[in-house]
Amino acid sequence: MKVTVTDTWGAPDESGSRRADTTVEIAGVPVTGNASQTLHARGDQETKSVVRGDVTVKIPLIGGKVKSAAEPYVGRFVEIQAKEVAKYIESQP
């Protein structure tokens, strides 16, 4: 199974906040995931992350069930990504 994750980051705004748009596609499967993540600077030591997303399933009659089954995995993906970002931030001088 080939899963393609594409992140597109925007430039920081005046406050230093940044937004990423993420698309997840699975080759040969009519399921896609789209999300946006905004990182808001809160002082020098804290960043707030807001993530919104949706899963689209294009399978007649059973698409809703497949979507419901896929959504927990999207949540896990976001959790893993957040942990990796935290590790990166902690590794910076």
Asked whether the predicted pLDDT for residue 77 surpasses 90, the reply is no
Contact present, 37 and 19 (Cβ < 8 Å): yes
Asked whether the predicted pLDDT for residue 56 surpasses 90, the reply is no
pLDDT value for 64: 84
What is the total count of domains within the chain?
1
Asked whether the predicted pLDDT for residue 74 surpasses 80, the reply is no
pLDDT value for 54: 87
Domain coverage including residue 76: 3-91
pLDDT band at residue 59 using 50, 70 and 90 as cut-offs: confident
Mean pLDDT of all residues in 52-75: 83
Contact present, 3 and 26 (Cβ < 8 Å): yes
pLDDT band at residue 88 using 50, 70 and 90 as cut-offs: confident
The tens digit of pLDDT for each residue in 2-51 reads 889 899 999 988 888 899 999 988 888 888 889 898 988 887 778 888 88
